[in-house]
Amino acid sequence: MQVLSEFSSEQKPFAFILSCIDSRSPVEIIFDQGIGDLFSARVAGNIINEDILASAEFAVNIVGAKLIMILGHTKCGAMGACLNQTKDGYLKKLIEKIEPTYLKYKNEVDSNAQPQDKLSEYNVLESMQILIDKSDILRQALRDKKIIIAGSIFHLDSGKVEVLRVLDKL
């Protein structure tokens, strides 16, 4: 493939996007990007763990990505599992990462007409904060204005991305 051979010696993605594994939210298609344009990390509920932190640090510190985006989505099954207190198998570990956000915003989430979607929004915002709190490298890059961190929601019904928050400085 000619397209792949262009990227075989190096990569220069401009963004690192953490999104959910949901098959209805493929980031390259959502943002109309091609091979080599994005670092794409996917995990159910777009949660932050050590591997995601290391990957984001690699993208920024080694390759020079300028944008980190946390991309949640509506109708997220991981948010539904948290709300339904699903604790089967390893899913329990994932839900335990979302639960603190739910408990922090319980009143707002429970009183919303779409609690699953509201929790997804809060989860994105809390994930942004976790990135900054846990990674000295990302925090310093933000402080030095080398990166922007954005939190967004992909609306499955409309195909639109709603930007919730943008951090361009500390």
Q: What is residue 169's predicted lDDT score, i.e. its pLDDT?
A: 87
Is it the case that residue 9 has pLDDT exceeding 80? no
Amino acid identity at 11: Q
pTM of the model: 0.93
Least confident segment among 52-61, 85-94, 96-105, 130-139? 85-94
Q: Is 99 helix (H, G, I), strand (E, B) or coil?
A: helix
Q: Is 71 helix (H, G, I), strand (E, B) or coil?
A: strand
CA dist 94 → 48, 109, 154 (Å): 10, 19, 21
* Local confidence band at 8 (pLDDT 50, 70, 90 cut-offs): low
Angle of helix 115-134 relative to helix 136-143, nearest 10 degrees, comes to 90
Is it the case that residue 5 has pLDDT exceeding 60? no
CATH number (3.40.1050.10, 3.40.50.10880, 3.40.1210.10, 3.10.129.10) of 2-73+122-167 reads 3.40.1050.10
Average pLDDT, integer, range 23-40: 94
The residue extents of the domains of the chain are 2-73+122-167
Is it the case that residue 57 has pLDDT exceeding 70? yes
